[in-house]
Amino acid sequence: MTEPHPPAERDRTAELVVVANRLPVDRIADGDDEGGWRRSPGGLVTALEPVMRRADGAWVGWPGQPDIEVEPFEFEGTHLVPVALSADEVEKYYEGMSNDTFWPLYHDVIAEPRYRRVWWDAYVRVNRRFAEATAAIAAPGGTVWVQDYQLQLVPQMLRDARPDLTIGYFHHIPFPAYGLYSQLPWRRQVLEGLLGADVIGFQRVADAGNFARAVRRQLRYETKASGITVPNPDGSTRRALARAFPISIDASSYIELARRPDVRARAQEIRESLGNPKKILLGVDRLDYTKGIRHRMKAFGELLEDGRISVEDVTLVQVASPSRERVEAYMQLRDEIELTVGRINGDFDTMDHTAIRYLHQAYPREEMVALFLAADVMLVTALRDGMNLVAKEYVASRIDNRGVLVLSEFAGAADELPSAIRINPHDIDGMKDAIMRAIDMPAAEQGRRMRALRKKVIEADVARWSRSFLDALDDARRQRHGERAQA
């Protein structure tokens, strides 16, 4: 195995550097106009695009394929700095430590986290590589914004290398209660890594609270409201801020799509191709064990069994986009879900109607919005979810103020969307009743609730999210400079 080369030194000119596991681009077949790269469809890219264009911005991340060395390049106004990963590192740092240790641990151990020392070693090594690549390009006194649980050690590594920088970190997934977090053999190192940041952002107030508790219990640092007093190596202290910045979507782009005649026509076509059922229920998730897809299907299957609904009247469309297919727990989940779909459909389908239309595929955004418009009831039944953007996308798309959102209280979105029908996905009877209530909801009540939901999602959109995080970082920078001037 060949060890990738360290990142090339480049002038330190980037005033704002985003550091994320993935670059905001995907590689496409050679010979394309844009030099073989295409903007990836992810939400983070949309969220940060305006910010990156405004500032002299750079983005540090992995290009998405193992063992490829790519020189830094410009893409749509952003300087992209690829960090190379070997196939062995993808397996240990990404599929192992990130997706088979941190992901299940931070989602309340829904699946059993595996603790493997060789994964941790690779995680440290790769985090260091990201930190070095960032230190090499950030302008003196510049700002760095690190994204998510794959890179929790980067803030402190970066602070050690470049104490002049202002560093932010945003955690997209939940932060668990201390009783669970404390399982982590490297619990101390991870907290110290995160506390290298001046601002540590979480989805929910509860996540920020869990983090502060872990810091108190494990490191004995003092915490007050959202401030944490962190000792410096020279014996002085500094303040880190840990609080909630709930992420959102670019609501206007969903509204625009929902208005397009071709998208609306497609929504109608979808209804017809399902045999014009009275009600269409919809689930859209990455195929992940945190999303509660099995619980949802159990509730739906029982409703059919109980005779409270029939396949002539109600169809469930489940888009389960392929995800992390090389991780064992995901292979198992796929088997279980596909067995369940097969059983339910086998028991209840007729020649003309299907109970569950299951789609293990990814679709373009237009198709997603057409599905949102076709769906009378959106089912978000996550067992644990940092935010859940799908809930917000459904709401934004319903420009007709119709449709019902059934939303798990274990998704971060539940804090902001009280007008949804709230459920506990572990309570199957409760979920069945909630689904029936959604199916039977009169149009006037749908309108009342949907208007309240839409107001919230349109007000608190993703531009506001990134602005408020960067404002908090600006405050932190000013505070640091003030402190330094006084010292």
Chain residues binding ligand GDG by CB under 6 A are: 41, 43, 172-173, 247, 284, 286, 319, 321, 362-365, 368, 385-390, 393
Q: How far is the CB of 462 from ligand GDG (least distance, A)?
A: 10
Strand order in the sheet with 421-423: 356-359, 314-321, 279-286, 377-380, 404-408, 421-423
Q: How far is the CB of 155 from ligand GDG (least distance, A)?
A: 18
Cβ closer to ligand GDG: 269 or 313? 269
Q: How far is the CB of 313 from ligand GDG (least distance, A)?
A: 26
Q: How far is the CB of 396 from ligand GDG (least distance, A)?
A: 11
Q: How far is the CB of 399 from ligand GDG (least distance, A)?
A: 17
Cβ closer to ligand GDG: 200 or 230? 200
Contact between 387 and 172 (Cβ < 8 Å): yes
Q: How far is the CB of 320 from ligand GDG (least distance, A)?
A: 8
Q: Residue 358 is inside which H or E element, if any? A: strand 356-359
Query: Six-digit token pair at 112?
Result: 């059993």
Q: How far is the CB of 136 from ligand GDG (least distance, A)?
A: 27
Q: Which of 69, 68, 56 is nearest to 8 (CA)?
A: 69
Q: DSSP letters along 129-162, please?
A: HHHHHHHHHEEEEEEEEEESGGGTTHHHHHHHH-
Q: Is residue 59 helix, strand or coil? A: strand
Q: How far is the CB of 330 from ligand GDG (least distance, A)?
A: 13
Cβ closer to ligand GDG: 316 or 319? 319
Q: Which of 435, 434, 432, 450 is nearest to 396 (CA)?
A: 450
Residue 296's alpha-carbon distances to 283, 337, 345, in angstroms, are 9, 11, 15
Q: How far is the CB of 319 from ligand GDG (least distance, A)?
A: 6
Cβ closer to ligand GDG: 184 or 368? 368
Cβ closer to ligand GDG: 286 or 357? 286
Cβ closer to ligand GDG: 7 or 397? 397
Residue type, 384: R
Q: Which of 359, 351, 454 is nearest to 401 (CA)?
A: 454
Cβ closer to ligand GDG: 271 or 291? 291
Cβ closer to ligand GDG: 346 or 364? 364
Classify the C-alpha dihedral 473-474-477-478 as positive or negative.
negative
Q: Which of 162, 345, 367 is nearest to 257 (CA)?
A: 367
Cβ closer to ligand GDG: 62 or 348? 62
Contact between 381 and 423 (Cβ < 8 Å): yes
Contact between 259 and 400 (Cβ < 8 Å): no
Q: Is 232 exposed, middle or buried (0-12, 13-18, 19+ CB in 10 A)?
A: exposed
